[in-house]
Structure formats: structure tokens, C-alpha cells
Amino acid sequence: MSKIGFIGLGIMGKPMVRNLRKAGHELVVYDIFTKSIDEVVGEGIERGASAKDVAARTALVITMLPDGPEVEQAVLGPGGVLEGVHAGSIVVDMSSISPLVSQKMAAACKEKGVAFLDAPVSGGEPKAVDGTLAIMVGGDADTFSKVEPILKLMGSSVVLTGGVGAGNVTKLANQIIVACNIAGMSEALVLADRCGVDSEVVFNAIKGGLAGSTVLNAKAPMVIARNFKPGFRIRLHQKDLRNALLTAESKKVALPLTSLVQQMLMALMNRGSGDLDHSAIFTFIEEMAPKSES
């Protein structure tokens, strides 16, 4: 098995690296935050000096970074992947970024004879730890078939959704549905409460009907318990909806609901709630209602 390069050892990257190692792969890893490298290096996992160094020592480089600017810095920037990479290598970016940036990365990689896939994930830290992420891939079928067995070590669902950028388009679709769902659920639960109907009773009464959803089952209990421990942070979801709106603008597509919820997330960040779970959208809606009588 050849060595795998991995750049970005945050909440998601660290467990993903550990799962690749558990399956027997040797790795070279890098993060700008040196402490994160210290946490994972050891038997079979080597320290990279830079993104360039990681690329020079491997034929497959995976990136798991916050957003497009960080991916651009790690891949195109000074000391970045493209300075060290070999023709014939593959770069797989698993960050959730704008599909437009994925396409820019793919074009820059192609000039060096390097294949590129975008492969964002859904599932969060618990599924990154379990190796059961849902992975949505964009790129050509030939490159996908080479990388699919590696991706399956990190995810239980690995789907090729189209050409480069399609993975991130799919991820944006996912994020729009989840955010709007949480906002709708919040309005429903605030209304029920102010009408004097218990939120838990409402949840139990409707969860088996058409309004039922995975989002409702996961987030209504958190709202009812006022438990906004992340989960998925407000600031990450704000970033995803911003990327959705930028992508939509490039295609002249209007997304009124996404735009509204993105503004709610921005307001929540500005009042210091950026690191709460995205179910805290509820608090934004609740504050617009008169105080509860109970």
C-alpha cells in the first residue's frame, strides 16, 4: 500500500486519519497548527513539514480544511501541494467549499498532470470517528474508481455525483435542506409553545407524519432540552449557506429561503453564538416572540 498524504487535522481530519491508519495505510500528515500534528504522529503516521512536503512524499493527497480560501492556500499557495506534487498523483479535497473553487483547483491540478476530486462529507465528528460518513464525490469515473476503496475506509456511503464540483453542489443541497428544516421546525415549536401546547407533545404527535424528518428527530429534542452543544456549529453552517448563495448567484438562481436563514446564522454569530449547534436557530426565532407565559 502506498503512503497517503493528509492535510488538515481538525475535528474531522484527525479521526479520518486514524481510520486510514487502522486499515493499514501509512500516512504523511500536515496542519498549520503544529499541536494537531503532534496528536496523531506515531507508528505509521509521519510528520510533514508543509503541504508541499506531504505532496512530494505521496501519490494521493487528501485535504480536510475549513473553507475555499484555506484549500486555495494549501494547494496553490507558497509551500503548497502543487509545488511538491508528482504528475500522475491524485488530490482529493474533502472540505465543504464552493464548487466554483473545486473547479479552479481541478484546473490548476490538471496543468501539473494531477487528477482532482471534490469529496465533501456529511455526518459530523461521530461518523468521522466511526468511519460511517456520507461522502459525495465529484470528478471523473476513472479517478473515482482508484480512490473509492480509500474513501470507503472513512465513509459507509460513497457516491459519485457527477463531474468536479458536483460533490460540493450535492453538499450545498444537503446544507440548504437541513438549515431551512431547522428554521421551519423552530417557527413551529415557538408557535405551539406560545399557544400553550407543550413542544414535546407536538413533536411526538407529528414526527410520524409528513412533517417528520431526520432533522426533526435529531434537533427537536435538543431544542426542547435547550441543549445547543455542537454537533454542527452555527459558523460552519453560515459558511456553507454563503457558498450556496455565491454559487446560486453565479447561475442567476434565487434562493430566498436560504438567504433568510443565512442572515439568521450571521446574526447569531454576531451575538456570540457561532460555536453553538445549528439547532440554536431556534433561539433567534424565539426572541422575536413575546415571552412565554409559563
Residues within the interface to ligand NAD (CB under 6 A): 7-13, 30-33, 36, 51, 64-67, 70, 73-74, 95-96, 121-122, 124-125, 232, 236
Neighbours of 18 (CB within 10 A): 18
Smallest gap from residue 7 Cβ to ligand NAD (A): 5
Smallest gap from residue 131 Cβ to ligand NAD (A): 14
Smallest gap from residue 14 Cβ to ligand NAD (A): 8
Nearest-5° Cα angle at 102, 256 to 23: 115
* Residue 171 annotated as catalytic: yes
Taking 3-state DSSP, the helix, strand and coil percentages for the chain, each rounded to the nearest 5, stand at 55, 15, 35
Smallest gap from residue 200 Cβ to ligand NAD (A): 26
Given the residues 52, 171, 219, 239, select the one marked as catalytic.
171
Q: Is the peptide bond before 24 cis (omega within 30 degrees of 0)?
A: no
The closest residue (CB) to ligand NAD is 10
CA gyration radius, the chain: 21
DSSP 8-state secondary structure symbol assigned to residue 279 = G
- b/e per residue 222-259 (b: at least 16 CB within 10 A): bbbeeebebbbbbbbbbbbbbbbbebbeeeeeebeebe
Residue closer to ligand NAD (CB basis): 125 or 130:
125
Whole-angstrom distance, CA of residue 135 vs CA of residue 161: 10
Neighbours of 101 (CB within 10 A): 23
Q: Is residue 204 classed exposed, middle or buried when 0-12, 13-18 and 19+ CB atoms within 10 A define those classes?
A: exposed
Smallest gap from residue 116 Cβ to ligand NAD (A): 16
Residue closer to ligand NAD (CB basis): 8 or 184:
8
Residue closer to ligand NAD (CB basis): 32 or 218:
32
Residue closer to ligand NAD (CB basis): 155 or 286:
155
Residue closer to ligand NAD (CB basis): 37 or 192:
37
Which positions are catalytic? 171
